[in-house]
A and B are shown apart, each in its own frame.
Chain A
Amino acid sequence: MAQRWTGRRQVDDGVRFAPTLTIACLVIAIVLAFLDRPDARIQPLANLRAGFNDLAAPVLELAARPLRGFANTGPWWRNQLALAEENRQLRLQVSELRAWRDVALAGQERNARYREALNLQGPDTGERITAWTVADRSNAFVRSRLVGAGAEAGVRAGFPAVNVYGLVGRIVDVGRSSSRILLLTDLNSRVAVMADRSNARALLLGDNTGQPRLEYLSREPDLVEGDRIVTSGDDNVLPRGLPVGQAFRDSEGRWRVALYSDAAPLDLVWIWPFDAVAVPGAEPDTSAVPELPSGRTVQQEDGVAGASQPATAEGEG
């Protein structure tokens, strides 16, 4: 009974696996690896992941708390020197930013007036959601973070995650109280970006290295090293203008991006609620158009729709 339960057999030279059970386990693992494709994950497996993350997140959060404290540990004198230097730099930045704040406020006010004048419909962004990283086991196959905020906090799949300096990634799996961020460096990450200076468009492709590649550039892209790269919003997945990083050429001459988000640890992130522009349906919904007393619709009355309208006009002509 015990042998059947454990799947191992006691023999003279020790304990052996039951071959059938070993093969069955290998087959199960292969089938799961085949079904659980990151680019086309089936719904039951996605639900299983979300449920598991919800269960694991509180435990992982307990383990992560003391580790967060390590960031502030170290020799007392080293901390003091670092704090003094940081304080000096922050004072400088604050004095510079005061001037920028006035410029930004003036620009915001002017922008609002332009939007009103043009009746510009921008994407809606709601209140940002703060989340702590509870697990960050990135390896050769995946670059992701588990954060302790899920559907209950308003997180939805596709929302961008940023830290103090820039874009970190976007949400892929959402559980009740946890969600997983696919980092920009992950192999499955694709983000439409542009150079802030020249508006040169590109696609930022993660390749499981520290610095993602810029691909699908034009033949002679208007890019120079150090260009600020931001999201372009062309993919209708992320909002336009989120800071991503700085462009540079690697040793092989390919364009890559040094991510701004690397400048700070990813323990605290903000998730921005972002509703992408809805794709228009193939056929307009005519049921919503009110009926006129004569039996004709508003569109027919105005002469802007309906296949018979031009024919009638032709006939009348």
Chain B
Amino acid sequence: MRANRDRDAVWPSVAAFIVSMLLALVLYTAPSSVGGLPDLTPSLPLIVLYIWAVRRPWFVSPPVILFVGLLQDLISGGVMGVWALAYVAAFAIARPRSDEGAADLGPLTIRFVVLALLAFGFAWGVGSAAIGVPAGAAPLITEAIMTIVVFPVLGWLFARRKERSAMFNSGRGG
């Protein structure tokens, strides 16, 4: 009975993860420069992956990270494995191990900045090796800055939600 309840609680999260990740990938590759605007799209898949890794630490496993990275490589038309490797390596080093402190935006953002810098650093190294010459750093730096700048907005929404759910649980427990 309890196992059934746990399973019921997991599947909405799985569905929400898939939908949010697809949305992030679609928005990431949408032709934002169509109107002659500069391409300043942040790495939304990385942000979503990180938030889910904090929200459900057991949920974002290495194969899932690999799969998301491969999707990003495929959808952007780049060499397969570049972002996949960068994400798996970055999460292996600077992964959020638990959802402790997830309601606090400061530590949440600092941990994300470290993770993002690692991911973009690895991507530059692997990407340069894949194309055979050192890749231009400027586009990656721009994307990394935009990702770090945009994260607190989404992180704040997540922290608020986490805070509310913690308050709700403590009230119910008392």
Contacts and interface: CB of A to CB of B under 8 A. Distances in A.
A in complex with B:
yes
Interface residues of B, number: 59
A146 B35 contact: no
A29 B98 contact: no
Which among B39, B58, B97 has the greatest number of chain A C-beta atoms within 10 A?
B58
A200 interface: no
A70 B34 CA distance: 8
B127 interface: yes
Given A141-B127, A142-B77, A14 B62 contact: no
A56 B75 contact: yes
B124 interface: yes
A294 interface: no
Contacts of B19: none
Nearest to B37: A70
B61 A63 contact: no
A140 B96 CA distance: 28
Q: In the complex, which range does the number of interface residues on chain A fall in?
A: 35 or more
B100 A14 contact: yes
A29 B37 CA distance: 33
B130 interface: yes
Interface in A266-304: 266-267
B92 interface: yes
Contact of B85 (A14, A29, A38): A29
Interface in B75-111: 75-82, 84-85, 88-89, 91-92, 95-98, 100
Contacts of A112: none
Contacts of A37: 79, 130
B138 to A, nearest CB: 8
A84 interface: no
A139 B92 CA distance: 24
Dominant secondary structure at the B interface: helix
A190 to B, nearest CB: 14
B171 interface: no
Contacts of B1: none
Interface stretch (A20-28, A96-104, A241-249): A20-28
A67 B136 contact: no
B135 A140 contact: yes
Nearest to B95: A17
A141 B63 contact: no
Contacts of B100: 14
Interface in B122-147: 124, 126-127, 129-131, 133, 135-140, 143
A60 B25 CA distance: 9
A8 B58 contact: yes
B164 to A, nearest CB: 23
Contacts of A187: 131, 133
Contacts of B58: 2-3, 6, 8, 10, 15
Contacts of B85: 26, 29-30, 33
Interface string A11-51: 00111111001101110111111111110000001001100
A137 to B, nearest CB: 4
B159 interface: no
B14 to A, nearest CB: 11
A142 B70 CA distance: 15
B62 A64 contact: no
B33 interface: yes
Interface string A63-76: 11001101100000
B66 interface: yes
B32 to A, nearest CB: 6
B65 interface: yes
Contacts of B27: 63
Interface of A: 2-3, 6-8, 10, 13-18, 21-22, 24-26, 28-38, 45, 48-49, 52-53, 56, 59-60, 63-64, 67-68, 70-71, 133-142, 144-146, 173, 180, 187-188, 208-209, 265-267
Given A28-B84, A36-B130, A142-B79, 4 more contacts: A28-B66, A136-B34, A140-B140, A265-B35
